[in-house]
Each structure stands twice: as structure tokens, then as C-alpha cells.
Amino acid sequence: MSLAMPALPFDIVVFDLDGTLADTAPDLAGALAHMLSRLGRPELTLDAVRTMIGNGVRALVRRALRATGGADEILEEEGHALFLAHYGAHLCIGTKPYPGTEQALDALAESGAALAVCTNKPEAFARALIAQLGWESRFAAIVGGDSLAARKPDPAPLHEAIARAGGGRAVLVGDSVTDAATARAAGVPFVVVRFGYSDRPVEDLGADAVVDSFAGLTDALADL
């Protein structure tokens, strides 16, 4: 017997991807390890990589190079190309959904909410990863870091995701200061997950709600 879902005050629930829906750090770290090895740099630990994720691939590559000796624009471009080639072929080797992710997505869909993704990952990678996770039919919209001229924390990608998903009352679920700033700029509520890649305590992000796991997401959204 299915339990009644709580009524949600939102038409659309928009999710960040890396560090929110799935732990992608192992495969991002693998691509960075390949890049750094090719450039004669030392490998970074997985924990170090987790602190560097956010703001897109170029920012990740730049942070990794700076942490291992610095780089000029030419080396950053070389590193970027090496990273993209490796990551594009190894998107979902170690990547796993966080516990309860699919159950939460099912519950939100049962409640009648449309689901969308707004990420700074390149759109082609985001779509390919979502397909490899078996989620391609779950989301009404997927907006990546290169879908528009602007990326998060600019509000334009979030507004675009909301519009593509049908428009209406929306909330952003994410894990970082970038997501928090995006939600504020867009004028939508923000729910932060505690288990993501935040570089600071999630209580400092000014979220409307904090969830420790996806088991508490629908109730947190219903309470907003």
C-alpha cells in the first residue's frame, strides 16, 4: 500500500547534479589524475578534489593545476582538453547516486512536481551521465554550464530550467555556495543537502532548509 505524499508548494523541483543527485567525485578525480599525469604533476587526493568541484570544468582544471604547481593560460587549455577527453569516456565508472535519490525522485514525481537539472557540468556530459544512470525519462529539463552564455551563480540557467520544465513555483536543491547564490539571484527558495561538496558548513549558506539525506527531502519541501 502506497503512502500519501505530502502536498508540495512547488510545481517544479530543480536539482544540481554533482554533489547533489550523485557523487561524481571519483570519476572527476580519475579524469584529473589522467590530466595531471600527462602534464607531469602529482595526483590529488579524492578529498582534495571534492573541495574543488563547482563552477564548471574549467574552474576544476584551473584549481587542480594551481594546487599542483600553477599554470598559465596555455597549460590550462592543454589540461582542459586532456580532462575533457578522458572524462567524456569515463563519466560513470565510480559515480553513484546518493542513498535514497531515486526514491525521492519517485516521490516528487508522484506528488505531481516536474523535475529539472541545473548544473555547471557541460550539458552533453550532464545528459550522458543522466542517461547512464538510467534517469533520462525523469527530468523535464536539463540545463548545463554551456547551455547559455551565463552559468551559475548567474540566475539565467535556473530561470531557463524552470521555463523548460513548464514554469511555475520552483525550488532549487543543491549543495554549494554557488547554488545558494543562484537561488537568491533567481528569487527562488533553496534547500541544501548536507552530504555534497560544500566548501563551508551548510548552515552558513542561508538555505531555507537543510536535509541530511534524501529521506527527508519531500517533508522539507512540503514545510517551506
Active site residues: 16
Q: Are 31 and 90 in contact (CB under 8 A)?
A: yes
Going across the sheet that includes 190-193, the strands are: 141-143, 114-118, 12-15, 170-174, 190-193, 209-211
Q: Would you call the peptide bond into 153 cis, given omega within 30 degrees of 0 as the criterion?
A: yes
Nearest-angstrom CA–CA distance, 155 and 157: 6
State CA 174 to chain mean position distance: 7
Q: What is the CA radius of gyration of the chain?
A: 17
Buried b / exposed e across 193-220, counting CB within 10 Å, b at 16+?
A: bebbbbeeebeebebbbebeebebbbeb
Q: Which of 93, 91, 110 is nearest to 102 (CA)?
A: 110
